[in-house]
Amino acid sequence: MSTRDPQSIRISSDLLPRDGRFGCGPSKVRPEQMLALNLAGPRLMGTSHRQAPIKNLVGSIRSGLSQLFGLPDGWEILLGNGGSTVFWDVATFGLIENRSQHLVFGEFSSKFAEAAAAAPHLGEPSVIKTAPGSHPQSVCEDGIDTYALTHNETSTGVMMPLMRPAGSGDALVVVDATSAAGGLLWDPAEVDVYYFAPQKSFASDGGIWFAACSPQAIERIEKISASKRWTPASLDLKIALDNSKANQTYNTPALATLIMLESQVGWMNEIGGLSACNARSQQSSSILYSWAQARSWATPFVADADKRSQVVGTIDIAASADGGVDANDICAALRANGVVDTDSYRKLGRNQLRVGMFPAVDPEDVQALTACIDVVVEALRG
Ligand SMILES: *Cc1c(COP(=O)(O)O)cnc(C)c1O
């Protein structure tokens, strides 16, 4: 049992990562993005979102994202205020026609299922669930018009390949890609709606949602809108669609978020697009997982290596009785040294570290983080 106060542990500065932000959202914002905000500030901040400078900024983000994802003709990037959580409500009004199927394998994937179950205008959703640490498979079911998948379950560090269920016909595949988008690869042929918020792989700030929508998804939005289902205007996808095509939002967006996002999307395309971003996250995650496997007191939480997320790493720490330490003490000691947000997802309730390895995070910094954890654990064990 360790009695050492974690906050008293000093990590020598040559071991520390250059940037100590390893959160899973908000996540590291690159200094270049802060500089872009400073440079663009006087011209863009505090100006109307209905005028050309901000509309051009939104247009540049929309085309930059289309390029990054390699979207086919006819796809549109939609945006609106509220983040991914609000998009679940948006989708219950504007994407699900009657019944949805949800793969639930953690906190975030369960939330959309709950939103659909609570909507009085929808039929009872079908929910396929697995315990945290793995993911279910979607199966085609009669009467399902929307298949809800999660590309990366941020609460558990599980990623899943995106595949249209065989035989699902004109049902939509709607993917929560909040922590995956920009860091993981996907094929637009397998997906109709790929939605996310910019505070994870896009290293910007929260409060806004983006959704890449296929022509079939746009058809669905138009169809539901024509059916005159009651929809609050702020959650109305048809209103969002019309505004987005005009590079606008229904109500005022956070301009600083958009400026930092544009800078990040530009950088991602410059360094080689989605495959280069994916390679960075893959490099970071293989450093983290192979380090954990080489420690007697650390184990990757996700047993199946193929399901281990490349953008959100979860590492179980052995209990002190088994030669480990309290993961909260590790986090406290790291934080006292400027290395922050390595805490596990609280509701998962494990003795665990969780590390954001989005493309903005330098793989060398993940390497440095592992060395810091070694030092901290040694000090804690005394
Ligand atoms: C972070 C996250 C959300 C919630 O995003 P908000 O923008 O905070 O609403 C939803 N789903 C997943 C997979 C996430 O990682």
For residue range 156-198, list pLDDT tens digits in order. 999 999 999 999 999 999 999 999 999 999 999 999 999 999 9
**Which protein residue's CA is at the shortest distance from atom 7 of ligand 1?**
83
Going from the Cα of 85 to the center of ligand 1, the distance in angstroms, rounded, reads 6
Atom of ligand 1 at shortest distance to CA of 179?
A: 15
- 230: helix, strand or coil: coil
Q: Tokens standing for 70?
A: 């390699």
Mean pLDDT of the chain: 97
192-229 pLDDT, tens digit per residue, is 999 999 999 999 999 999 999 999 999 999 999 999 99
pTM over 0.85: yes
Q: Which of 210, 202, 194 is nearest to 249 (CA)?
A: 210
pLDDT at residue 20 is higher than 90: yes
Mutate to test the pocket of ligand 1, among 79, 179, 194, 210 (most ligand atoms within 8 A of CB): 179
Query: In this predicted model, what pLDDT tens digit does every residue of 67-89 receive, in sequence order?
Result: 999 999 999 999 999 999 999 99
| Cβ within 8 Å of residue 173, ≥6 positions away | 147, 149, 162, 164, 165, 190, 191, 192, 193
In the chain, what percentage of residues exceed pLDDT 90? 97
Return the axis-axis angle of helices 273-293 and 52-69, rounded to nearest 10°. 60
Whole-number Å distance, alpha carbon 249 to ligand 1 midpoint, is: 20
Which of 27, 79, 81, 85 most suits a substitution to test ligand 1, by most atoms within 8 Å of the C-beta?
85
Give tens-digit pLDDT for 260-278: 999 999 999 999 999 999 9
* Residue matched to tokens 């989005």: 358
User: For residue 2, is pLDDT > 60?
Assistant: no
- Residue type present at position 186: W
**Atom 5 in ligand 1: residue holding the nearest Cα:** 84
Dist. CA 41–CA 54, nearest whole Å: 12
Q: Name the residue of 79, 86, 103, 108 whose CB sits within 8 Å of the most ligand 1 atoms, as the mutation to test its pocket.
A: 108
> What pLDDT is stored for residue 4 in this prediction?
86
Which of 24, 27, 84 maximizes ligand 1 atoms within 8 Å of its Cβ, making it the mutation to test the pocket?
84
User: 140 by DSSP, 3-state: which?
Assistant: coil
Q: Ligand 1: which of 176, 178, 311 to mutate, judged by most atoms within 8 Å of the beta carbon?
A: 178
Which residue has its alpha carbon closest to ligand 1 atom 12? 178
Contact 256, 133 (CB under 8 A): no
The answer to whether 180 touches 159, Cβ cutoff 8 Å, is yes
184 CA from centroid of ligand 1 (Å): 16
Q: How confident is the model at residue 382 (pLDDT cuts 50, 70, 90)?
A: confident
Overall average pLDDT of the 100-118 stretch: 97
- Which residue type, as a one-letter code, is found at position 26? P
Q: How far is the CA of 195 from the centre of ligand 1 (A)?
A: 10
Q: How far is the CA of 84 from the centre of ligand 1 (A)?
A: 5
Please check the confidence at residue 3 and state whether its pLDDT lies above 80: no
Which residue did the predictor score with more confidence, 151 or 3? 151
Å from CA of 179 to ligand 1 middle: 7
For residue 155, CA distances in Å to 194, 309, 359, 368, 376 come to 19, 11, 19, 24, 24
- Backbone dihedral angles phi then psi of residue 57, each to the nearest 5 degrees: -60, -45
H-type alpha helices, the chain: 31-44, 52-69, 83-94, 107-118, 215-226, 237-245, 255-270, 273-293, 327-336, 363-381
Is residue 367's pLDDT more than 70? yes
Q: What ranges do the domains of the chain cover? A: 6-28+273-381, 31-270
- Class of the domain covering 6-28+273-381: alpha beta
Nearest one of 281, 301, 151 to 212, comparing CA atoms: 151
Ligand 1 binding residues, C-beta < 6 A? 25, 83-85, 108, 150, 154, 176, 178-179, 197, 206
CATH (one of 1.10.540.10, 3.90.550.10, 3.40.640.10, 1.20.58.410) for 31-270 = 3.40.640.10
CA of residue 108 to ligand 1 center, whole Å: 7
User: Distance from the CA of 150 to the center of ligand 1, in angstroms?
Assistant: 10
Is 312's pLDDT higher than 70?
yes
Residue 46: count other Cβ atoms within 10 Å of its Cβ: 8
Q: Write down the pLDDT at residue 44.
A: 98
Q: From atom 1 of ligand 1, which residue's Cα is the shortest distance away?
A: 178
C-alpha to C-alpha distance for 338 and 332, rounded to whole angstroms: 10
Alpha-carbon span 261 to 78, nearest angstrom = 15
DSSP per residue, 233-252: GGG-HHHHHHHHHTT--SS-
